[in-house]
Amino acid sequence: MRSLLFVPGDDERKLARAAACGADSLILDLEDSVAPAMKAAARRRVAAYLDARGDRLPAPDSRAPAPDTRSPAPEARAQICYVRVNSFDSPHHADDVAAMAGARPDGLMLPKSEPEQVRRLCANLKSLENEHHLPEGGIKILAIATETARAVFTLGSYAGTSSRLAGLACGEEDLATALGMLNRNDVGGIFGVVRALCVLGAAAAGVPAFDGVYVDFRDAAGLRAECLRARSQGFGGKLAIHPDQVPVINDAFRPTARECDWAARVAAAFRGNEDLGALSIDGRMVDRVHLTLAERILARSGAYGTTQGE
């Protein structure tokens, strides 16, 4: 998944338009964008939206690229849908999880997450799936893993928490508020460390990392620059708060023609040379580690196509 678009769960108009935005995944929100008085109504609206989806996609593999949402048109197919429930310390959490399990989302997004909470949510989902006669493990978990200072110190502990874990996402806005920081553009300071730890923690757990939101949704150039920086740092995609951000994110996280050319030549060089651990391409040594990277690039290009960017 490259683009994950938040959609307020209590906004019928935005829910109706969400499927056509081209996002690889929708995050139907029951948390920050929904006022406390509207939580119950939002659950009902999101459940109805999920029930009306028709044929579902297979449960997403956290290690595999998402299908290309450009062709066929998003309206013509089921769309990957996560639901952001309220955090464990919220009085709305248990009701959110219970209501959503029966509606069969592809996964739940857990805010203010820590590894032990992922284990607890996994146990709760297992019980609810049995209650609703659903396949065990079908509902995945996407953890927003950096929203509190304490959570940052647990980023290396997600490995082995649950086979449901589908990724770790950065939540810089909540963390900045918790730290009393007015400057959200602290790329090289605390946020730089947090982002690096998120990518490393996700890699240790064998799942992708997703960059946090870019709040200035009218600044396409700034968004693209942030996407390219995030991609260079190892993030696999980015959260979005507005449909206009989706095309920018999708393009920025699509492999470039140059990357695909390199990957194709590496794969071709090793084809038929299975007994070699390393070889030379353009005067540079490449080994099996580079082949693994090349195969990932080619897999993503097969799902998303390529861009002409550098």
Return the pLDDT at 309: 61
The domain ranges of the chain are: 3-252, 257-304
Q: Are 96 and 43 in contact (CB under 8 A)?
A: yes
Q: Is 99 exposed, middle or buried (0-12, 13-18, 19+ CB in 10 A)?
A: buried
- Class of the domain covering 3-252: alpha beta
Return the pLDDT at 184: 60
- Euclidean distance between CA atoms 255 and 232, whole angstroms: 12
- What are the phi and psi torsion angles at 54 (to 5°)? 80, -145
Q: Which residues contact 67 (CB under 8 A, 6 or more apart)?
A: 24, 57, 77, 303
Return the pLDDT at 214: 93
Return the pLDDT at 236: 95
Return the pLDDT at 111: 98
Per-residue pLDDT of 187-204, as tens digits, reads: 568 888 999 999 999 999
Cis peptide bond N-terminal to 72, omega within 30: yes
Name the stretches of the chain with pLDDT < 70: 54-78, 183-188, 303, 308-310
- What are the phi and psi torsion angles at 192 (to 5°)? -60, -40
